[in-house]
């Protein structure tokens, strides 16, 4: 049984990665139904939250059925992060996660996210301040290091565990790599082999099939796997991996009718959540993935990303279902 403090996550939990502009409540709803064992929000800017910016505040909205759920914070100022941990605790997520992995310039070049990998003493102080500011378990998500010459995640794991984090997720790339090249899980496996480490270690990076999940589970001995991009438009990935790990057999792929059904739920929630205009526009990034690899679906996708209303989207989805009528994807 993998546990983060008192949160029981099952034998080998599959985590939905925090993804800015993706892992909002509508997306999390389909991933929960798809079998995610622990979900994270998009990252929340501590500076934004302190200013009470609408976007940051809205990211604190969580639902009972989403539990267990973690809210992820990022920032460069220690006291601001601690204050945000207090604000975040008041909405009662199951845990608070700190982002020390974000590589994008607007974050890392302002001293937040992966930038803290270049200043371990500050990272330790920030983490300690957050741990002290909340009664909730604190977890951390980070990368292997800043660049190839400073792969310091082993030191990070020990020092952050020592000041009280309850789990660590490691994306097997450096900041400089951004999303390029293959994720390298060797250091993640080494941390799992370190007898000093007793908190759960979750591996992250490039898991996109049940076979790969099994291979990496066995090879690197992690306590669970976090999945990001492979879940976009394919929330079935969680249950497919779970089933494969349990039985060695592959689940049937979702039919096109299944894809239409889940995509419809997603877009309807999106519109309820954000209003029709924004809900429809923000949904557009998901269609290509929902209908990937389906012969002749491109024309439908092109139409889906152009129409401005929910009723038009629903009509096209109905057409897709009728056209393919339960053909396996």
Ligand X SMILES: Cc1cc2nc3c(=O)[nH]c(=O)nc-3n(C[C@H](O)[C@H](O)[C@H](O)COP(=O)(O)O)c2cc1C
The number of CA neighbours under 13 Å toward the Cβ of 154 is: 13
For position 321 contacting ligand X by CB under 6 A, the verdict is no
- Tell me the per-residue interface mask from 92 to 131 with ligand X, x by CB under 6 A, - otherwise: -------x-xx-----------------------------
Q: 31, 84, 102, 263: which is the annotated catalytic residue?
A: 102
Query: Does 277 carry a binding-site annotation?
Result: no
Residue with Cβ nearer ligand X (97 or 128)? 97
Which positions from 218 through 277 interact with ligand X, judged by CB under 6 A? 227-230
For position 24 contacting ligand X by CB under 6 A, the verdict is no
Binder of ligand X out of 137, 205, 235, 254 (CB under 6 A): 205
Residue with Cβ nearer ligand X (7 or 71)? 71
Phi and psi of 250, rounded to 5°? -90, 135
DSSP 152-167: -HHHHHHHHHHTT-SE
Q: How far is the CB of 311 from ligand X (least distance, A)?
A: 28
Binder of ligand X out of 59, 141, 175, 286 (CB under 6 A): 141
Distance CA 311, CA 309 (A): 5
Name the token pair of 154: 């082993």
Distance CA 183, CA 198 (A): 24
Which of 190-198, 203-211, 249-257, 291-299 is the region at the interface with ligand X (rule: CB under 6 A)? 203-211
Binder of ligand X out of 12, 27, 43, 185 (CB under 6 A): 43
Query: Does 248 carry a binding-site annotation?
Result: no
Residue with Cβ nearer ligand X (134 or 231)? 231
Query: Does 141 carry a binding-site annotation?
Result: yes
Distance CA 32, CA 304 (A): 25
First to last CA, the chain: 34
Respond yes or no: is residue 263 known to be catalytic: no
Q: At what angle do helices 78-89 and 120-133 cross, to 10 degrees?
A: 30
Which CA distances in Å does 152 have to 44, 60, 116, 159, 179?
25, 31, 11, 11, 18
Q: How far is the CB of 19 from ligand X (least distance, A)?
A: 4
Q: At what angle do helices 153-162 and 120-133 cross, to 10 degrees?
A: 30
Q: Answer whether 159's CB lies under 8 Å from 117's CB.
A: no
Pick out the residues of the known binding site.
Answer: 72, 141, 171, 228-229
Pick out the residues of the known binding site for FMN.
Answer: 72, 141, 171, 228-229
Catalytic residues: 102
- The binding site for ligand X (CB under 6 A) comprises 17-20, 22, 42-43, 72, 99, 101-102, 141, 171, 204-207, 227-230
């Amino acid at each position: 049984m993998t546990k983060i403090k008192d949160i029981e996550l099952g034998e080998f939990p599959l985590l939905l990665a925090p993804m800015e502009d993706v892992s909002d409540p509508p997306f999390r709803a389909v991933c929960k139904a798809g079998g995610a064992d622990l979900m994270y929000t998009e990252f929340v800017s501590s500076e934004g939250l302190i200013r009470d910016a609408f976007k940051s505040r809205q990211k604190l909205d969580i639902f009972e059925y989403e539990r267990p759920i973690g809210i992820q914070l990022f920032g460069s100022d220690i006291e601001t992060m601690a204050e945000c941990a207090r604000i975040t605790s008041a909405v009662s997520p199951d845990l608070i996660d700190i982002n020390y992995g974000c590589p994008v310039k607007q974050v890392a070049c302002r001293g937040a996210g992966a930038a803290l990998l270049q200043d371990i003493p500050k990272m330790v102080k920030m983490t300690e301040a957050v741990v002290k500011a909340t009664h909730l378990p604190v977890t951390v998500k980070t990368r292997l290091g800043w660049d190839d010459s400073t792969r310091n995640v082993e030191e990070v794991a020990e020092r952050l565990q020592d000041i009280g984090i309850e789990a660590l997720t490691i994306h097997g790339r450096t900041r400089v790599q951004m999303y390029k090249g293959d994720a390298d899980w060797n250091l993640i496996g080494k941390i799992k082999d370190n007898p000093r480490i007793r908190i759960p270690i979750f591996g992250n990076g490039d898991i996109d099939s049940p076979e790969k999940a099994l291979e990496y589970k066995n090879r690197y001995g992690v306590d669970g796997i976090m999945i990001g991009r492979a879940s976009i438009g394919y929330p079935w990935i969680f249950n497919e991996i779970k089933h494969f790990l349990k039985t060695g057999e592959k689940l049937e792929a979702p039919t096109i009718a299944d894809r239409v059904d889940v995509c419809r739920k997603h877009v309807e929630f999106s519109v309820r959540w954000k209003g029709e205009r924004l809900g429809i526009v923000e949904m557009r990034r998901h269609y290509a993935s929902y209908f990937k690899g389906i012969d002749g679906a491109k024309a439908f996708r092109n139409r889906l990303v152009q129409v401005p209303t929910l009723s038009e989207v629903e009509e096209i989805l109905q057409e897709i279902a009728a056209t393919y009528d339960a053909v396996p994807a």
